[in-house]
Each structure stands twice: as structure tokens, then as C-alpha cells.
Structure 1
Amino acid sequence: MCRSIKTLRPPAMPEVGEEDIRAAALQYVRKVSGFRAPAPHNREVFDEAVDAVAEATRRLLSELVVRGAGTGHQHEPAAGR
């Protein structure tokens, strides 16, 4: 898919911040839309898509169970992120 999107789950990345999640969401939307930056008339829908992908990513990371990443419990991103 998009090689510039990093793996965000442990152990590849033990601390995931909001900036990491937003960057991955932006890269995904750019790849899917084919636009690095949207035209003014597409800005709102582009930004909404980035928000939706970021939220889905937060949810995914908070609910994943990663075995072999220490305790074997769910991975929870740092508070406030």
C-alpha cells in the first residue's frame, strides 16, 4: 500500500502519539484520493476523511490485543493521545 505509513502497534512502536496517528491517516487519504493536497472545493471532505481514518486508527490501536509485546494485554495508547 503506502510505504510511508509506519506500523503503529507494539512492538514496532511502543509509544503512539496523536501526531503519529494523524500522519498515518493523512498519508492514507492522500494515497486513496490521489491528491497530496486537496483543491479548496475538496478541502472539507478531505479533512473529514483524515479525521475519520484517524479515529478508526485510534480505536483499532486501543482494541488490539498484541501477544508477545510484553504482558500480552491490550495495547493502550498513551493517555490523551
Structure 2
Amino acid sequence: MCRSIKTLRPPYTEDVTEEDVRAAALQYVRKISGFRAPAAHNAEAFDRAVEAITMASEELLASLQVRGAH
């Protein structure tokens, strides 16, 4: 699933921006919803999902402990 989403944790990626995390969240929501761009009546739910997944992903990345990292 979501083959275009890149790993966003060290050592795979050192400099992760908020835009990187949001792009991954957007790709995920597009994939599971089946919509590249939702219709107007689904836009709010789509955007909320992207935001929630972005926040959850940022929390996850901030919490991970990578062995061997300084």
C-alpha cells in the first residue's frame, strides 16, 4: 500500500519537515479514501483526516528511539 510514502525517521531521513509529514499523511488519506481530491461535500472530512494523521505521525516520530542514535 502507499509505496510512495517514504520512511521519515533516522537513519533513513535526517531532516524531516512538517511538509514531509503532511505529504505522507495526504498520500495515505488519498490511498485509503480512493480520492485524489475529494468532492466539496467530502473535503472537510478529508482535510480533518490529513490533519489528524499528520499530528499522529509527528507524535510518533518524536517519540521513537532509534538504537545507535546519539
Check whether TM > 0.5: yes
* Structure 2: segments with no counterpart, 5+ residues: none
Aligned equivalents of 1:35 and 1:44: distance in 2? 13
Task: Give unpaired runs (5+ residues) of structure 1.
Answer: 72-81
What is the aligned-residue identity percentage? 67
TM-score (ref. length: structure 2): 0.97
CA RMSD of aligned residues (A): 0.6
Q: What CA distance in whole angstroms lies between the structure 2 residues aligned with 1:16 and 1:65?
A: 15
In 1, Cα distance between equivalents of 2:16 and 2:28: 17
Provide the C-alpha distance between the structure 2 equivalents of 1:16 and 1:39, rounded to a whole number of angstroms. Answer: 30
Tell me the TM-score normalised to structure 1 length.
Answer: 0.84
| Aligned-residue offset at 1:15 | 0.8
* Greater helix fraction, Structure 1 or Structure 2: 2
Match in the other structure for 2:37: 37
Please list every run of at least 4 consecutive aligned residues from structure 1 whose deviation after the TM superposition is greater than 3 angstroms.
Answer: none
